[in-house]
Structure 1
Amino acid sequence: MAERKRNSSALPSSLALLAASVLLATACAPGGGAGGDGTTAEGGELDGVELLVAAKWTGVEQRNFEQVLDAFEEKTGATVTYDSTGEDTGAYLGPRIEGGDPPDVAVLPQPGLVAEYVDQGALYPLQGEAAQALEDNYGDYWQRLGGVAGDSYGIMIKAAHKSIVWYRPEAFEQAGVTAPTDWDEMVTTTAATLSDAGSAPFAMCGASGWTLTDWFENVYLSQAGPDAYDQLIAHEIPWTDDSVVTALQTLNEIWDAPELMLDGTDGAVNTGFPDCVSRVFGQQEAAMVYEGDFASANIVESGAEVGASAQAFPFPAVGDEPPVVVGGDIAVAMSEQEGTQQLLAYLASPEAGTTWAELGGYLSANSNVPAEAYADEFTRQLAQTILDAGDNVRYDLSDQVPSAFGATAGSGMWAILQDHLRDPGDPEATAEKLEQAATEAGQ
């Protein structure tokens, strides 16, 4: 294998609820896969070709992705080097683009970056077998996420399910509560009863501003609906719209109730991710924490067992349907080097997705990755939720708007929602600040 550069069980009670809560719409359109049987197209011999791939992953995520790249090397004869961008993808890619030395394939953590780099002339559209693999293996929504002005540039190679709430069943049992099925039940019954029983209901992750955007997105998608969600992303409706104010008022049912948050408001705004997870499952100071499926790694590090001492329920419905908000990472071509499009085609194939799924810590939006590839029933159910949501699934809103507004620490949505958590008394004023920041960022 090529030497790579390295920068330093089932959930029975939750799964029944999860399955009942996510029957939203028809599944993404099926397809035949790259080559139909999980193989890439003929003529993929790439002996002597060297490719550089850059993504944010480090640690176990990097090691798992490198195993996928190893499989591509074995299949094609190419040599693939991996480089970690770290968390600030733009800071890594910017100088390389300006210097004319970008990686051949970059994995972008935000769809908004795809459009930004297309505007800079830094990306090449998907061609040939890569374009075909996208069409064969992904539903329409996932195809659109990597597109700009009708052209396909990116492939969602790794997804994250951001509409689940983790909880300690022991705390629920002691308080005599069960997993809620809607928002009102979660607030007025589950959380209130836990609080009365002397258990802090929620460990908030407010020091990490992105977690607060996730709260807002789930409430807004369920309450206002997918059409309004899309219009807000496109800034076709302003952030001062009544639907935004209503969502902030709904969030205040928790954010403006210090007794429902571990250590009250101060604890909520001063605890970040993943410390909020360990305070539930390690120190056992609170009963619940909201964040995506990726929190499972931190849960295990805290000494809890997913499916036993750590379980999850779907983010409860605020409106007619429960939300299904996803995040993920999009692979794009930044060069015309031979092998680049073949690598993208492989990453879009069921074969690559199956290899990755078997390693764990992974969800795929690829319709043709078989359910049995996932190691446990809980992960299989989460993956199926993403696919079954069909037209009702939506990608993380803050990652689809300009990064200066939606994905920058200390400014934009992150800072404004942190301020709102700190002092939630005026949702209208918060909406005004969001509108001003969006406008200034060019949304």
Structure 2
Amino acid sequence: MRCLWGLVAAALVMTGCGGPHPAPVHPGPLSGQAIEVLAVWSDEEQAAFERVLDVFERRTGASVTYVSGGDEVPTVLATRLAGGSPPDVAGIAQPALVRTLARAGSLVPLDPGTESVIDAQFAPVWKELGTVDGRLYGFVFKAANKSTIWYDAGQLGPGFVPPRTWDGFVETLRKLSDTGDTPLSVGGADGWTLTDWFENVYLQTAGGAMYDRLARHEIPWTDPSVRTALQTLGRVFRPEYLPGGISSALQTEFTESVVDVFGEDPQAAIVFEADFVAGVIAESTSATVGVDARVFPFPRIGPVSSVVSGGDTLVALTDEPGTRALMQFLAGSEAASIWAAQGGFVSPNREVELGQYPDDSTRQIAEELVGAENLRFDMSDLMPSAFGATRGDGFWRAMQDHLADPAQIDRVLAELEAEATAAYERGDS
């Protein structure tokens, strides 16, 4: 095994300077070996990832099969593990699930070679996200910068200057509303968009240490810091700022909220969400990212630049030479650069050159993600999924309740605390 792994590592190093389209290597050091990867990506994302895998196959001679589990990756993975046939590699969006699987013995710690790549090319915060009880089990391959505000440059005009502060953002919305516009599109039917709003505001109003404590339920959801964040958020969730008012926002899904800004019949000029908004723009509108569709950082409330991130953590479930070789390849900047050049992708790997990204907006998003002074992972994905990531329940529903009636803040806080307590006591993942 060691000899074969040495040959694989040598093959990866020797061809590492060949760019994203190396000449085929046949037979390679992994000829005849089959590797299976399970992750969420489908359609255009699947095609982009499979191009990354093509490079690895040509270089090593291995055969890699990709399986898209969509939103059901946790269920598919649980079924495969129960049946004794796990994939070799899986992409998992929830760090809480990574912890659960690692502690259950279902994951294989990353080998020293892969860990050295992560040490060299990722900021320490990203390594911490993949570490469970002192051992490194995974790394975020495809990240999301969830601290981005998108706007239609045509609607707002050439003189528009993106606001840098929360007060400036509120003032921008007020001025646009005063002219008769409804400036802000909110996809409230998808509760996760509202939790993303809250997480950005909470990180800036309460700070990183309190964010971590709330995510671990070391402080209650009735804490004054939560009230402060909800009250701050209420300054932009005003009916006169939203097309159709609050009731319409609660019926608007995420994709529709983007189309309502960049589609043929715009209802608003501004929408908040992560860099994956670019994919919706490309698929559902005629707008061009970086030209019509532009972006600015989530307005500052606190003293430092803060970014809430999400992403898919790649983990190994088998201890085979092919698995180890693929994990090391995917951890490196070359693999990330291959997808970056195709668009619809942001990497936390700080050695991916900004020039690899296809437009100015994506380059800006990537630069803010890598350079953030205060970065935290999506709180919903850090918490038990029964509370943090269940459609129509828990955190998602409570945020919808708050949007529907901000005057009922005491009831919402009590609801959040009761459901969080139950989920953590059950030990849900």
Q: Same fold (TM over 0.5)?
A: yes
Higher relative contact order (Cα pairs below 8 Å, separated by 6+ residues): 1
Q: Give the match for residue 150 of structure 1.
A: 134
Q: Does structure 2 retain, via aligned residues, the 8 Å contact 1:315–1:322? A: no
1:428: how far off?
A: 2.7
Once residues 435 and 38 of structure 1 are traced to their aligned partners in structure 2, the CA distance between those partners, rounded to angstroms, is: 51
Q: How does 1:299-310 map to 2 (within 5 A)?
A: 299-300=281-282, 301-310=284-293
Measure, in 2, the Cα distance between the counterparts of 1:397 and 1:36: 40
Give the match for residue 275 of structure 1: 256
CA distance in 1, matches of 2:399, 2:179: 29
1:349 pairs, out of 332, 335, 347, with: 332
Q: How does 1:144-183 map to 2 (within 5 A)?
A: 144-173=128-157, 178-183=161-166
Structure 2 spans left out of the alignment, 5+ residues:
1-11, 19-27
| 1:321 equivalent in alignment to 2:290 | no
**1:144 is aligned with what amino acid?**
E
For residue 213 of structure 1, what is the aligned residue in structure 2?
195
Residue 115 of structure 1: how far off its partner (Å):
0.7
- How far apart are the structure 2 equivalents of 1:224 and 1:371? 31
**Residue type at the aligned position of 1:182:** T
Q: Displacement of 1:319 after TM fit?
A: 2.2
The Cα shift of 1:183 comes to 1.0
Residue matched to 1:409? 391
Alignment of 1:330 onto 2:318: no
Q: Give 1:429 deviation, angstroms.
A: 2.3
Q: Residue 341 of structure 2 aligns with which residue?
A: 358
Q: 1:11 matched to which residue of 2?
A: none
Specify which of 185, 196, 217 is matched with residue 178 of structure 2: 196
Which residue is 2:30 aligned to? 46
What SS class does the counterpart of residue 214 from structure 1 fall into? Answer: helix
Aligned length: 403
> Could you tell me how far apart the structure 1 residues matched to 2:118 and 2:323 are?
15
DSSP-derived class of the 1:228 partner: helix
Q: Distance in 2 between matches of 1:418 and 1:192?
A: 23
What amino acid sits opposite 2:187 in the alignment?
C
Mark the runs of 5 or more structure 1 residues left unpaired by the alignment: 1-33
Counterpart position of 1:62: 46
Whether contact under 8 Å (1:161, 1:327) holds in the other structure is yes
Structure 2: which amino acid aligns with 1:416? A
**What secondary structure does 1:235 align onto?**
coil
Residue in structure 2 matched with residue 423 of structure 1 by the alignment: 405
Distance 2:163 2:334 in 1: 37
In the alignment, structure 1 residue 101 sits paired with structure 2 residue 82: no
From 51, 61, 65, give the equivalent of 1:81: 65
Q: Does the CA contact (< 8 Å) of 1:413 and 1:434 recur in 2?
A: yes
Contact kept in structure 2, 1:316 and 1:323, CA below 8 Å: no
| Alpha-carbon shift at residue 322 of structure 1 (Å) | 4.0
Deviation at 1:37, TM superposition (A): 9.0
Deviations 1:271-323 (A, max 9, x none): 01101000111021111111111101212331112222221211101222343
Deviations 1:153-193 (A, max 9, x none): 0111111111111112233239x753211111211x21111
Q: Point out 4+ residue stretches in structure 1 off by more than 3 angstroms.
A: 34-40
Cα gap change, 1:35/1:76 in structure 2, threshold over 3 Å: closer, same or farther? closer
- TM-fit CA distance, 1:39: 6.7
Q: Write the distance in 1 (CA, Å) between the matches of 2:74 and 2:80.
A: 10
Three-state SS of the structure 2 residue aligned to 1:248 is helix
Asked whether the 8 Å contact 1:195–1:260 carries over to 2, the reply is yes
**Bigger mean CA offset, 125-134 vs 361-370:** 125-134
Query: Residue 367 of structure 1: CA displacement?
Result: 1.6
Any idea what SS the aligned residue of 2:36 has? strand
How far the C-alpha of 1:219 sits from its partner, in A, is: 0.4
CA contact (8 A) 1:109 1:329 kept: yes
Which of 240, 244, 253 is 1:263 aligned to?
244
Distance 2:199 2:313 in 1: 20
**CA distance in structure 1 between the aligned counterparts of 2:167 and 2:338, rounded to whole angstroms:** 41
- Give 1:330 shift: 0.5
Q: Which moved more, 1:112-121 or 1:272-281?
A: 112-121
1:59-113 CA-partner distances (Å, limit 9, x unpaired): 1000000000111101111100000111121111111110001110000012111
Q: Match of 2:81, SS? A: helix
**SS of residue paired to 2:286:** coil
Quote the offset at 1:327 in angstroms: 0.9
Q: Report the AA paired with residue 355 of structure 1.
A: I
Q: Do the aligned residues in 2 keep the contact of 1:168 with 1:288 (CA within 8 Å)?
A: yes
Structure 2 residue aligned with 1:436 = 418
Task: Determine if contact 1:172/1:194 at 8 Å carries over to the other structure.
Answer: no
Residue type at the aligned position of 2:326: L
User: Contact 1:45–1:77 at 8 Å: present in 2 too?
Assistant: yes
Q: Is the alpha carbon distance of 1:38 and 1:141 closer, same or farther for their aligned partners in structure 2, counting shifts above 3 Å?
A: farther
The one of 212, 222, 239 aligned to 2:221: 239
Counterpart position of 1:296? 278
Equivalent residue number for residue 7 of structure 2: none
- Aligned equivalents of 2:354, 2:293: Cα separation in 1: 22
Q: Is the 8 A contact 1:316 1:322 kept in 2?
A: no
Letter in 2 for 1:139: A
CA deviation vs aligned residue, 1:320-353 (integer Å, no higher than 9, x gap):
2343111111000112233111111000011111
Do the aligned partners of 1:38 and 1:350 also contact (CA within 8 Å) in 2?
no
RMSD of the TM alignment (CA)? 1.9
One of 109, 131, 139 as aligned partner of 1:125: 109
| Residue number among 116, 141, 144 corresponding to 2:125 in the alignment | 141
Match for 1:348: what amino acid? A
Contact 1:219 1:323 in 2 (8 A): no
Task: Give 3-state SS (helix, strand or coil) of 1:393's partner.
Answer: strand
Q: Is the 8 A contact 1:52 1:104 kept in 2?
A: yes
User: CA separation in 2, counterparts of 1:128 and 1:195?
Assistant: 56
- Counterpart of 2:266 (choices 272, 284, 294) is 284
Instruction: Tell me the distance in 2 between the aligned counterparts of 1:203 and 1:37.
Output: 47
Q: Show the counterpart of 1:22.
A: none
Mean CA deviation greater in 274-283 or 427-436: 427-436
Are 1:129 and 1:342, in contact at CA under 8 Å, matched by a contact in 2? no
